[in-house]
Chain A
Amino acid sequence: MSGARSAACPECLRRAWLVGSLSGHIEKAAADAPGSRAHELLALSDERLVRAVARARAGSILRGAADRDPRRLLEAVAGAGAWACCRHDGRYPSGLADLRDAPAVLFGRGDPALLGELVPDGAVTIVGTRRPSGYGRELATSLAREVAAAGVGVVSGMALGIDSRAHAGALEAGGFTVAVLGNGVDIAYPASSRQLYAQIAERGLVISELPPGTAARRWSFPARNRIMAALSAMTVVVEAREPSGSLITAEFAQELGRQLGAVPGRVGTSSAAGTNGLLRDGAAVIRGAGDVLDALLPIGAEARRGAFSPRGPALDAGLGRVLELVEGGAGTPDALARASGLEPGALASALVQLELSGYLRSDTAGRYERTPLEAPEHP
């Protein structure tokens, strides 16, 4: 990584640094509604922004911003192992142009040439709760894996939970993935995701509108959500609570006229309350990678249908019955034994057979869950 790979004009760099240095002031000004308020603030010109968030010191802040030496700023970027790309550069992602408050500069890690691949029609944004259910985790992974395998980039926010699973799924498939951070790109946050961060930076892109070294703030996460929404033609929410940062991303996607999809969850489950609400409000139902690809690339959808839903081995009636009970919501072995009337030994044997065939998985507490693997049509 070197400064030579950066392409940013002095004005844009100054603007980016101004936003970074005002981070604390924006935090205070946007305290009441971090999402929408920061969005409005970032759309303001330099001068009006400074007056809006730091009226008392506006003069000195503006003078300080004008005095910044762009060469020193570029050196700082290179020193952090990052590059910068301003909105006047040809590689600046086209999707961001739709934003009223498009970032002046994108800072990034990873190969800047990959920016060329980041076109809305070739990417999907997958987001969701930091505390997913096992079902949500699994779906986020497989969804990302399969769309990435089909050559679609996966954009997400590297948060714990769904976001991390989406990145991991895309990496598993050897696909292209972009992490949009709410802090400087030289900071791996959360720290426990350091390994994932390194992998994304090596094989995909880690980007942010904030200059290297800027720490995360409450306002900066909702603000980066608008970038995530703008980068792709479709945002898919896998699981979201109510309220939730993922719902903010969904809102941005709708404002921008992007497609919005949500994965249906069990009614009454709090981790799916947000996504089920989106579905009621008209979001597209996402059952798997096929639905995403159909929406993104409408041509040839028929031909692809089925290609992404592998089917498992045939099941006899007994195993089929147990599988139905798990689908019906019985999760613990006790509940399954009661519902099936099977003797514990026979039930255990059936569950292990279903698990080994890939139809079931046991979650961290030992409850059984259905995997997305589909059973063959009735024999």
Chain B
Amino acid sequence: MFALARTFALVGVEAEPVYVEVDIGGGLPSFTIVGLPDAAVRESRERVRSALRNSGFKYPEHRITVNLAPADVRKAGPGFDLAIAAAILAATGQLPQAVVDNYAMAGELALDGAIRPAPGALAMAEGARGWGLRGVAVAPPDATQAALVAGLEVVPVEHVTRLRELGEGSLEPVARVEPPAPDDDLPDLADLRGHPVLRSCLEIAAAGAHSLLLIGPPGGGKTLALQRLPSLLPPLSPQELIEVTRIAGVCGENGGPRLRRPFRAPHHTISGRALVGGGSPPRPGEVTRAHRGVLFLDELGEFRRDALEALRVPLEQGSVTISRTSGTVSLPSRFMLVAASNPCPCGHGEDSGECDCHPGAVTRYRAKLSGALADRIDISLSVEPPPAEELLEDGVEDSAGVRERVLAARRRQEERLGPGRTNAEMTPGEVRRHCELDPQARQVLERGHRQLRLSARGWDRCLRLARTIADLAGAERITPDHVRRALSARRPVDP
């Protein structure tokens, strides 16, 4: 007796088709899974056996062999349970063959036969459509996410017995719904008082997706300010929403579509691999989970040096490539980097005259701020706590007002560069095309470049930033003032 079911293995953020072949033959009762299963997949047999027995199916007391093909792709996680169970049922005639032929399945089985969510529902739904299947059967919490894919039946099954109904065609697929607008309960910029320049830097950063570094003593409002950045960003486009939801799903976040741009704030003890992704099979890291959103590194100087070094490539390329002997996986990582740091380990700042840090410790700390990563920071600003009376300041603009201007600037960028693209991502060619300077503005930049010791990369970065500042002002041409504004935002250079 033989049957074939369909499911997926997750490789990076993609779902690779996997055939679940089941052969039930004579011999002493046994249950073997082959095809590079990991420990969780191997334990699947215990869950499948109990789940089938406890939900009124007949469990075949024969020799059962399960092959997960292709045999050279690593299979990880408990999501294969449902497809294995369905294949056994089909092989023993307890489930119509049409079910396993038409639907891909993914879900973890409970011992009573209930179906639990598995990671990557949206990725699998996209895979199923690409595979030409009629639909996918997943746990109900996964269904809302998978239903973002058009042209595919997404059937929620909460228990393994419901597979019968799936065969009879009496299970309703979930209706595809347009994702609702996100509710507006993000921390609002109105809470940030007494920081006029910081507010304008947040606005510029949001408008062009520029990376931003705030340096200052603890309690100065750095973290408060950066946590308000999401409220300034434009909403996700439908395509971006699918990308973001797919990544969240692959990383094990079940449930409906992600309506907001991700805001990831990993702790400073994070390893380089957890930050950029890795492992075998390759798993997305924080940079991928922050795709289309914000990666916030609080206490930048405390991060491990190798972790920060590892950020350079994803920042530059917008993707992470992980090579394993089994192949190469590319993970998207188009995120906006924002960071906060004390000026030195004690927080006072080496130049303040109050610093008690050992000079060597300051040098090491600073090396992280001024190293190769700093060359990829577009805007950096010194932030100190404002005097108390400023905290009572009235009439500060809230996020909605600022977002209007950000949206207008983003529209100009999209007209120029294409959908979803921002000034921060301009290639050197695009910089030459779109950031032309008149002689006066050019003179300012040349002088700044010479006297402020900008690197070659710093020159282009300044131009991209000036472009965003001009876009915010609604200006077609970059003026000398725009260039000066951009120069003032550059990172502090070593004395």
Contact = CB atoms under 8 A, between A and B. Distances in A.
Interface in A309-353: 331-338, 343-349, 351-353
A345 to B, nearest CB: 5
B194 A338 contact: yes
A309 to B, nearest CB: 20
Interface of B: 194-201, 215-216, 343, 349-357, 359-360, 362-363, 366, 370, 380-384, 386, 390, 447-448, 451-452, 469, 481, 484-485, 487-489, 491-495
A333 B216 CA distance: 12
A5 to B, nearest CB: 35
Task: Kindly list the 6 A-B residue pairs having the minimum CB-CB distance in the complex, ordered from nearest.
Answer: A271-B353, A366-B382, A134-B351, A269-B353, A348-B488, A344-B200
A345 B469 contact: yes
Contacts of B487: 352
A277 to B, nearest CB: 14
B494 A347 contact: no
Contacts of B381: 332-333, 366
Interface stretch (A84-92, A243-251, A355-363): A355-363
Nearest to A330: B384
A117 interface: no
A270 B353 CA distance: 6
A369 B351 contact: yes
Given A337-B196, A355-B452, A364-B366, A131 B382 contact: no
Contact of B485 (A332, A336, A348, A365): A348
B354 to A, nearest CB: 5
A136 interface: yes
Given A269-B353, A333-B382, A365-B215, 15 more contacts: A131-B350, A133-B351, A161-B359, A271-B355, A331-B384, A332-B384, A334-B384, A344-B196, A344-B199, A345-B469, A348-B489, A352-B485, A355-B451, A364-B351, A364-B494
A211 B371 CA distance: 40
A145 interface: no
Contacts of B353: 132-133, 135-136, 239, 265-266, 269-272
Interface string A262-291: 000110011110000000000000000000
B384 A335 contact: yes
B22 to A, nearest CB: 64
A12 interface: no
A39 interface: no
A14 interface: no
B382 A356 contact: no
Nearest to B360: A192
Interface of A: 130-138, 160-161, 192, 239, 265-266, 269-272, 331-338, 343-349, 351-353, 355-356, 361-367, 369
Contacts of A351: 488
A345 B485 contact: yes
Nearest to B370: A364
Contact of A356 (B362, B451, B489): B451
A332 to B, nearest CB: 5
Contact of B495 (A332, A352, A364): A364
User: Considering residues B200, B343, B356, B360, which has the most beta carbons from chain A within 10 angstroms of its beta carbon?
Assistant: B200
13 contacts: A133-B350, A133-B352, A135-B353, A136-B353, A265-B353, A271-B353, A338-B194, A347-B197, A355-B452, A356-B448, A365-B215, A365-B343, A367-B349
B469 A334 contact: no
Contacts of A161: 359
B386 to A, nearest CB: 7
Contacts of B447: 356
Contacts, number: 139
Contact of B349 (A136, A353, A365): A365
B100 to A, nearest CB: 62
A101 to B, nearest CB: 30
A336 B381 CA distance: 13
B189 to A, nearest CB: 14
B495 A138 contact: yes
Given A332-B216, A345-B481, A345-B485, A364 B360 contact: no
Given A334-B195, A365-B216, A366-B215, A352 B484 contact: yes
Given A131-B355, A270-B354, A334-B386, A364 B484 contact: no
Contact of A363 (B349, B370, B491): B349
A160 B484 CA distance: 35
Contacts of A336: 197
Nearest to A160: B359
A335 B359 contact: no
A166 B352 CA distance: 20
Contacts of B362: 131
A362 B383 contact: no
B367 to A, nearest CB: 11
A265 B351 CA distance: 13
A349 B197 contact: no
A338 B390 contact: yes
Contacts of A331: 382, 384
Nearest to B488: A348
B359 A363 contact: no
Nearest to B493: A362
A355 B216 CA distance: 21
B359 A334 contact: no
A192 B197 CA distance: 37
Contacts of B215: 365-366
User: Considering residues B196, B357, B448, B489, which has the most beta carbons from chain A within 10 angstroms of its beta carbon?
Assistant: B196
B407 to A, nearest CB: 20
A363 B386 contact: no
A192 B362 CA distance: 13
Contact of A334 (B351, B383, B481): B383
A137 B350 CA distance: 11
Contacts of A270: 353-354
A332 B359 contact: no
Contact of A364 (B197, B199, B350, B481): B350
Contacts of B382: 331-333, 362, 365-367
Contacts of B485: 345, 348-349, 352
Contact of A365 (B194, B195, B197, B492): B492
B492 A362 contact: yes
Contacts of B201: 344
A352 B197 contact: no
Contacts of B351: 133-135, 137, 363-365, 367, 369
Contact of A269 (B200, B354, B386, B469): B354
Contacts of A346: 481
A315 to B, nearest CB: 15
A141 B451 CA distance: 18
Contacts of B448: 352, 356
